[in-house]
């Protein structure tokens, strides 16, 4: 299967959204909010693919490039969103490795279906998951990510405090 051409994710400088939308961002657990927080969702979703190991490698590389571009731009939210897409690549590929067709639950219920011992693309999906996992671990260990996360949480706390004070003044 042909690998799609690289999007040159790290070559384009991302545009940081205005302060208010950025401050409304919640880090959350795992992949929470990954498919809802704009403009990052629209910028990163086209890079996220895991059908084959080669496509997963390209996708993980492109998302890592975007992660680094957000770091260079001083945009923690973008970095965290890129990390979430990388994490989602890891978990979705693993789900397809564990369950033929990727369906984890019985339709209409929360009853988990049994894991598949062997199916046609199990090994490919496991390799794709490992590819994303390695990049995800690199994101989590990234010094700039840790530093920017700390700064973002501090800035967000101050922004929320000022915002609440402004709302009280209006009342």
Q: What is the pLDDT along the chain (171 residues), one digit of tens a residue?
A: 344 444 444 456 677 778 888 898 988 887 888 888 999 999 999 999 999 999 999 999 999 999 999 999 999 999 999 999 999 999 999 999 988 888 888 888 889 888 888 888 899 999 999 999 999 999 999 999 999 999 999 999 999 888 777 776 655
Cα torsion at 144, 147, 148, 152 (round to 10°)?
A: 170
Q: What are phi and psi of 112, to 5 degrees?
A: -75, 135
Predicted confidence at residue 161, as pLDDT, reads 87
User: What are the extents of the domains in the chain?
Assistant: 32-170
Residue of 46, 25, 47 lying closest to 132 (CA atoms): 47
Predicted confidence at residue 2, as pLDDT, reads 41
Predicted confidence at residue 17, as pLDDT, reads 79
Helix (H, G, I), strand (E, B), or coil: what is residue 18?
A: coil
Cα(31)–Cα(132) distance, rounded to whole angstroms?
14
């Amino acid at each position: 299967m042909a690998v799609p051409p690289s999007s040159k994710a790290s070559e384009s400088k991302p545009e940081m959204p205005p302060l208010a939308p950025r401050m409304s961002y919640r880090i959350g657990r795992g992949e929470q909010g990954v498919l809802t927080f704009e403009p990052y969702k629209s910028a990163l979703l086209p890079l996220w693919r895991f059908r084959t190991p080669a496509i997963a490698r390209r996708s993980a590389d492109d998302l890592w490039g975007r992660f680094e571009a957000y770091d260079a731009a001083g945009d923690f939210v973008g970095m965290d969103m890129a990390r979430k897409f990388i994490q989602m690549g890891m978990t979705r590929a693993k789900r397809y490795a564990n369950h033929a067709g990727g369906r984890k639950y019985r339709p209409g219920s929360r009853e988990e279906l049994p894991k598949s011992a062997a199916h046609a693309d199990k090994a490919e999906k496991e390799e794709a998951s490992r590819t994303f996992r390695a990049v995800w671990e690199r994101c989590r260990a990234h010094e700039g990510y840790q530093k920017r996360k700390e700064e973002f949480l501090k800035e967000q706390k101050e922004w929320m405090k000022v915002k609440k004070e402004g709302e009280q003044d209006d009342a």
